[in-house]
Amino acid sequence: MVAPAAQQIASGFHITDQFQVNLTISIFVLAYAFGPLFLGPLCEILGRTRVLRACNLFFFAWNLACGFAQSEGQYDCLPSPLAVGGAVLGDMWTPEERGQSIAIYSLAPLLGPVVGPIAGGWIAERSTWRWVFWSTSIAAFVIQIVGLWTLQETYAPILLARKAKKIRAKLDAEGGSAGKEVRTIFQKTAKRDYKQFMFVSLCRPFIMTAQEPIIILLGAYLAFVYGVIYLVLTTIPLIYTDIYHENSGIVGLQYISLGAGLTIASQINARLLDVVYMRLKTKNGGVGEPEFRLPCVFPGMLLLPIGLLIAGWGAQERTHWIVPDIGFAIVGAGIILTFQGMQMYIIDAFAQYAASALAATSFLRSVAGFGFPLFAPAMFKALGYGVGNTILAAIAFAIGCPAIWLFWVYGKKIREMSKHAKSN
């Protein structure tokens, strides 16, 4: 929602440098890099609901404060979003059922930045940029209230620990010492060094980032993909303002094309993910593998560079505005196919440690999401939208296709070398 209002914010804080203007848009993505590194492990220790509620409240407080910021420094330090939802899907659905659930969930972090600018553009034009933050704070507050009654715990170790605690209390009330022996399969000993457990759990995402080949390779490509979408988010206002001379409200509507590509591809892929997985599982003697998610990723690897070429050269040659929109729609389709399939692969591969694994990949992609919009204006100013997007398309194709082939052929061997991933 901030992107269409960026110039208004810059004017309010007397910012003239374009790099600093883009920083006001991308600075919040940096919190995605560091927050999940601690919050992912915490939800494996304290449970999903406690972390989700606390984080939504934290977001509400600081997002509300952004609307009252009186200086650029206050504004830049206040945003603090986060996410742990991917692991919840692994708790609630079996591998054969996760495709449709991930289709809905993955739209939030990708479609949100698309729908948001549409609302943000009109809010900024009809009122002030401060209401961009105040309106989202109102929505966050309503969600927090509803979540107090509707959000339920899904993490199996926590649910079993609570059940074991009730059984111990019941046995203790009846007398005897049998209650002391009741513990879950996740509690290896009756007594646990909790400090050591906390230390190991909180360090797990950092360890996985450094040691897990799956995290390093998939995280690197997801970083590029995530960087591209935030680069697109910041270049759409530039293209439609400078080339097509549209006002902020109409510019916001141009994000519909990106959202359409994301939504349509997401819903088609939701069904294909489970269908393809089940067919490959049947051919594999009834044994499912995380690699069975990859065939649905390959079309995304092709659509992403194609969309970048159409959008870039359409803007460069000043064609009708619908041509860049078509390109952005194809970019959205490519991004969602890649994002969904790879996220499903990570959830299937790491199972119990899915939150930490997703946190590790989130760190890499969020750093890219923060950095890409900062160099975009300089790159496009020097090279033009056509050549600039051609370079991005070449990188997407050169990295993406070999990566998918590598995991399709050697994925199981790579997982067998992992301390956290399932090898079967």
φ and ψ at 186, to 5 degrees? -85, -10
User: What domain range includes position 26?
Assistant: 3-154+207-416
Distance (Å, rounded) from C-alpha 214 to C-alpha 345? 10
Instruction: Tell me, yes or no, whether 162 lies in a domain.
Output: no
What stretch of H or E contains 287? none
pLDDT for position 79: 44
Q: How many residues does the chain have?
A: 424
Distance (Å, rounded) from C-alpha 231 to C-alpha 392? 11
Digit-coded pLDDT (tens) for 165-189: 788 777 777 766 655 666 776 665 4
Residues contacting 76, CB < 8 A, separation 6+: 23, 24, 27
Nearest to 253 by CA among 84, 117, 104, 388: 117
Q: How many CB atoms lie within 10 A of CB 283?
A: 10
Q: Are 213 and 345 in contact, with CB atoms under 8 Å apart?
A: no
Distance (Å, rounded) from C-alpha 331 to C-alpha 336? 9
Instruction: Tell me, yes or no, whether 84 lies in a domain.
Output: yes
Instruction: Tell me, yes or no, whether 168 lies in a domain.
Output: no
CATH number of the structural domain spanning residue 77: 1.20.1250.20
Instruction: Tell me, yes or no, whether 196 lies in a domain.
Output: no
Tokens 């510019």 belong to residue:
251
**Structure tokens, 48:** 């999903």
Distance (Å, rounded) from C-alpha 237 to C-alpha 270? 31
Instruction: Tell me, yes or no, whether 53 lies in a domain.
Output: yes
φ and ψ at 45, to 5 degrees? -100, -50
Q: Are 297 and 404 in contact, with CB atoms under 8 Å apart?
A: yes
Give CA 330 to chain center in angstroms.
19
Q: Are 373 and 230 in contact, with CB atoms under 8 Å apart?
A: yes
Instruction: Tell me, yes or no, whether 89 lies in a domain.
Output: yes
- The residue with greater pLDDT, 388 or 401, is 388
Nearest to 216 by CA among 19, 7, 406, 12: 406
Give percent helix, percent strand, percent coil of the chain, each to the nearest 5: 80, 0, 20
Q: Average pLDDT in the 44-60 region?
A: 78
Among 202-211, 238-247, 371-380, the least confident range: 202-211
pLDDT for position 82: 45
DSSP 193: -
Asked if pLDDT for residue 326 goes beyond 90, the answer is yes
Digit-coded pLDDT (tens) for 252-299: 788 888 888 888 888 888 778 888 888 999 998 888 888 888 898 889
Exposed, middle or buried, 122 (CB in 10 Å: 0-12/13-18/19+)?
middle
pLDDT for position 190: 43
Instruction: Domain count for the chain, please give it.
Output: 1
Instruction: Tell me, yes or no, whether 85 lies in a domain.
Output: yes
Burial 394-416 (b: 16+ CB within 10 A, else e): eebbebbeebbeebeeebbebbe
Distance (Å, rounded) from C-alpha 410 to C-alpha 365? 23
Digit-coded pLDDT (tens) for 185-233: 666 544 455 555 566 666 777 777 777 777 878 888 888 888 888 788 7
**Structure tokens, 15:** 């910012």
**Structure tokens, 229:** 């979408």
With vertex at residue 395, the alpha carbon angle to CA 405 and CA 383, rounded to the nearest 5 degrees, is 170
Tokens 């007397």 belong to residue:
14
Q: Average pLDDT in the 117-123 region?
A: 67
Instruction: Tell me, yes or no, whether 90 lies in a domain.
Output: yes
Q: Average pLDDT in the 312-323 region?
A: 92
**Average of per-residue pLDDT values in the chain:** 76
Distance (Å, rounded) from C-alpha 116 to C-alpha 411? 37
pLDDT for position 187: 61
Distance (Å, rounded) from C-alpha 334 to C-alpha 331? 5
Q: Are 29 and 82 in contact, with CB atoms under 8 Å apart?
A: no
Q: Average pLDDT in the 326-350 region?
A: 87
Q: Report how far apart the first and last C-alpha atoms of the chain are (Å, whole number).
A: 43
Q: Are 40 and 102 in contact, with CB atoms under 8 Å apart?
A: no
Distance (Å, rounded) from C-alpha 237 to C-alpha 255? 9
Nearest to 43 by CA among 73, 86, 94: 86
Q: Are 384 and 243 in contact, with CB atoms under 8 Å apart?
A: no
Give CA 295 to chain center in angstroms.
21
Helical segments of 212-321, H only: 213-238, 248-253, 255-283, 298-316
DSSP 245: -
